């Protein structure tokens, strides 16, 4: 599946069938010169020799008669650029470990004589609770230098934690919990004073993120409690009204609220039009299903994803078992389905009662959140739910689950047995 372009490099999402894993393929095509292909392969092969937690692994690279390519690790598909465009930043408690790790990764590359030359937000992959990964190797390196790599990384780190380009105001003045010493380290890197190893060393030595000083007086009194109780009461009322009206609130990583779809129970046994195992293919067929978990670790019971399209309602895909309600942990989790054809209805079968969801569409998988088109929202559950959808040809449909019910065995779990598309 084509993802787009990174300069003169085309990017594709593919599946390594031997190891059953997603991979990122980067290609320079026939429009590039012989010298450019050599440059691409030298950079990629150089990076492949570095094994580091914060470097995306490269599995293969070679030249073709009319181009060159690399095959590398697919790190959830969410870059720092995607997070910023969706209104998110790197959490302050994860910033220093990842910042120092990326600087150490860059130092390891430089030690082998490898220059990146194109460090920017789009070349750093990051998902919550997982190490940030430096990727995007093989870009143009004309004018590249080790110092410029360090400068670029420092600029990217400022953007990652503040959501804004580097300027005269230090990140610690904008983000609670960051030490002013981090401002000085970043500034020294941006001015070319530090090499990658020195940058990493100073980031490792910087004070860890801390909570703002609460002040000397933390004693309880009715003067403190009554205003807080009043605010809490208002919040509860607003929450209840919002749930009643089902309009929802807009988190930066959620999507525009849209009218609820029609979700109706039915006992009809009309056959699915999706090409499930054992069924004849029709005008709308499923070509791929992927977990979508940009705010988590990028996985969510991936092994059971095939159950969504196996034609058996008794098998299912489920979310992880969460100890707390899902909205308190992240905006949501779900699965994206690639289809050929133009569906007018989507069926969700064998779902657990009490799940809230949003339905979105995009022409390609894992773009920035802003590129997904909101189609519908509502609640699902029971044997069969049907959603009428506007005409959209091919592309990807995202079932984004925003709330899951309490499970009798403990915790909170969402479950979907089958997804089907009707023309």
What pLDDT is stored for residue 222 in this prediction?
A: 33
The answer to whether residue 276 scores a pLDDT higher than 60 is no
Tell me the C-alpha distance between 272 and 275, whole Å. 8
What pLDDT is stored for residue 341 in this prediction?
A: 93
Cα–Cα nearest to 209, from 188, 181, 187, 189: 181
Domain 1-211 has what CATH class?
A: mainly alpha
| pLDDT per position as a tens digit, 280-339 | 445 789 999 998 887 777 788 888 999 999 988 889 999 999 888 888 778 889 999 999
Tell me the C-alpha distance between 413 and 391, whole Å. 32
The answer to whether residue 364 scores a pLDDT higher than 90 is no
Q: Which residues contact 416 (CB under 8 A, 6 or more apart)?
A: 308, 316, 317, 318, 335, 348, 349, 350, 351, 380, 399
Q: Which two tokens stand for residue 26?
A: 């980067």
Quick one: pLDDT band at residue 415, thresholds 50, 70, 90? very high
The answer to whether residue 401 scores a pLDDT higher than 80 is yes
What pLDDT is stored for residue 367 in this prediction?
A: 58
Tell me the C-alpha distance between 422 and 340, whole Å. 11
Q: Which residues contact 34 (CB under 8 A, 6 or more apart)?
A: none
pTM for the predicted model, two decimal places: 0.54
Tell me the C-alpha distance between 7 and 39, whole Å. 14
The answer to whether residue 221 scores a pLDDT higher than 80 is no
What pLDDT is stored for residue 175 in this prediction?
A: 87
The answer to whether residue 148 scores a pLDDT higher than 90 is yes
Tell me the C-alpha distance between 317 and 382, whole Å. 15
Phi–psi pair at 50, nearest 5 degrees: -105, 120
Task: Cite the DSSP H helix spans in 130-282.
Answer: 146-162, 180-190, 196-205, 222-245
| pLDDT per position as a tens digit, 61-106 | 999 888 999 999 987 667 888 888 777 788 888 899 999 999 999 9
Give the bridge partners for 360, in sequence order.
Answer: 374, 398
Provide CATH code, domain 250-422. Answer: 2.60.120.260
Which part of the chain is CATH 1.10.510.10? 1-211
What pLDDT is stored for residue 268 in this prediction?
A: 33
């Amino acid at each position: 599946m084509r993802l787009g372009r990174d300069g003169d490099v085309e990017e594709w999402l593919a599946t390594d069938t031997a190891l059953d894993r997603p991979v990122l393929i980067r290609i320079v095509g026939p429009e590039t010169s012989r010298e450019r292909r050599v440059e691409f392969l030298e950079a990629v092969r150089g990076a492949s020799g570095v094994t580091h937690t914060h470097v995306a692994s490269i599995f293969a690279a070679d030249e073709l008669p009319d181009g060159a390519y690399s095959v590398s690790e697919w790190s959830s598909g969410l870059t720092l650029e995607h997070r910023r465009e969706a209104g998110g930043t790197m959490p302050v408690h994860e910033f220093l470990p990842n910042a120092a790790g990326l600087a150490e990764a860059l130092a390891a590359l430089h030690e082998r004589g490898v220059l990146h030359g194109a460090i920017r937000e789009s070349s750093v992959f990051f998902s919550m609770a997982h190490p940030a990964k430096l990727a995007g190797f093989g870009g143009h390196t004309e004018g590249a230098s080790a110092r410029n790599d360090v400068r670029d990384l420092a600029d990217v780190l400022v953007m990652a934690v503040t959501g804004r380009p580097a300027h005269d105001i230090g990140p610690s003045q904008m983000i609670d919990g960051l030490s002013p010493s981090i401002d000085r380290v970043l500034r020294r890197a941006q001015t070319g004073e530090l090499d990658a190893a020195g940058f990493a060393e100073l980031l490792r030595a910087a004070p860890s993120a801390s909570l703002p000083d609460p002040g000397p007086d933390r004693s309880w009194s009715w003067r403190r409690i009554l205003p807080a109780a009043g605010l809490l009461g208002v919040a509860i009322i607003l929450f209840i009204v919002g749930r009643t009206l089902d309009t929802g609130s807009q988190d930066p990583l959620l999507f525009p609220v849209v009218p609820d779809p029609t979700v109706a129970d039915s006992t009809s046994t009309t056959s699915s039009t999706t090409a499930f195992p054992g069924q004849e293919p029709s005008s709308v067929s499923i070509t791929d299903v992927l977990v979508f978990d940009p705010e988590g670790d990028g996985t969510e019971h991936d092994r059971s994803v095939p159950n969504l399209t196996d034609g058996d309602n008794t098998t299912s895909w489920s979310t992880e078992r969460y100890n707390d309600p899902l909205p308190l942990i992240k905006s949501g989790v779900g699965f994206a389905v690639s289809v050929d054809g133009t569906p007018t209805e989507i069926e969700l079968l064998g779902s657990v009662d009490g799940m809230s969801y949003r339905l979105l569409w995009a022409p390609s998988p894992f773009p920035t959140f802003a590129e997904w088109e909101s189609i519908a929202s509502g609640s699902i559950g029971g044997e069969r739910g049907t959603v009428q959808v506007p005409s959209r040809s091919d592309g990807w449909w995202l079932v984004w689950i925003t709330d899951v019910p309490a499970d009798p065995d403990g915790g909170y779990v969402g479950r979907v047995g089958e997804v089907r598309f009707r023309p």
